[in-house]
Amino acid sequence: ALANADRYQTIGIVDALAALASNQTFQALTDGLKHPNERCVAGVSWALSSAKSYDPNKLQDILTREDIATHAVLDAMRAHLERLNINKLLNIAYQLEPREKSAVFKMIGDKATEDLVPDLIARTGGRDHAARVHIIKILTKFSAPEVQHALEELLKDSNRQVRSAALAALGEMDGDQNIELIASLLMDGDLDVQSKAVDLLIKIH
């Protein structure tokens, strides 16, 4: 019905779907996210975003499905960010394509607290370089000695994007910097890394 509904009918249908949302009806509701009509997909996403009577962590289970409108799932997840399991979010992020991965790591960054720092630091040594760069950006929220030490270690990483992200993150942190280590990157083989090393050295005088 959403496909041909006018504005007022759409509101009524969405309200009805939201009222019917539960863990039991979740599968039937999310089948609507496979609909070829974008108005149907948007309406179901709106209902899932509004409803409070189902476990929003179930949304993470369907995020990797190819037949689902991923952007609609992400919209619903953002609406329930405070109720999402952040450890589950972290694990699912690695399975996503770049755009969706970026969106999920943005949610993780918004939700992350100091309790998550040890896990984030441990993940900076992983194989997924894109994920490592996102994690580095999240770590800039926490000006702790262990975070700064982890970022300094990443200045020696073999991946240029990781080195560049670590330099940018260190530039956002207070406290004493390892001048010798940062200066060594003035000879880095990547021009972007060299440039960020220059910027950081200038910033810390």
Tell me the pLDDT tens digit for each residue of 2-50: 999 999 999 999 999 999 999 999 999 999 999 999 999 999 999 999 9
Residues in Cβ contact with 81 at an 8 Å cutoff, skipping those fewer than 6 apart: 107, 110, 111
**DSSP helix/strand/coil, 1:** coil
Residue with tokens 């942190």: 173
pTM of the model: 0.89
153: closest CA among 187, 111, 124, 114?
Answer: 124
Per residue in 123-157, pLDDT (tens digit) is: 999 999 999 999 999 999 998 899 999 999 999 99
Mean pLDDT score of the chain, rounded to an integer? 94
SS3 content of the chain, % helix, strand, coil (to 5): 70, 0, 30
Side-chain half-sphere exposure of 32, counting CA atoms within 13 A? 24
Instruction: Name residue 100's amino acid.
Output: E
DSSP code for 125? T
For residues 83-99, one letter each, b for 16 or more C-beta atoms within 10 angstroms of the residue's C-beta and e for the rest, the string is ebebeebbebbeebeee
Read off the pLDDT band of 73 (50, 70, 90). Answer: very high
pLDDT at 204: 87
Could you tell me the two tokens for 99? 């755009």
Q: Are 79 and 49 in contact (CB under 8 A)?
A: yes
Query: Could you tell me the CA-to-CA distances from 188 to 128, 157, 182, 185, 198 in Å, in that order?
Result: 22, 11, 10, 5, 11
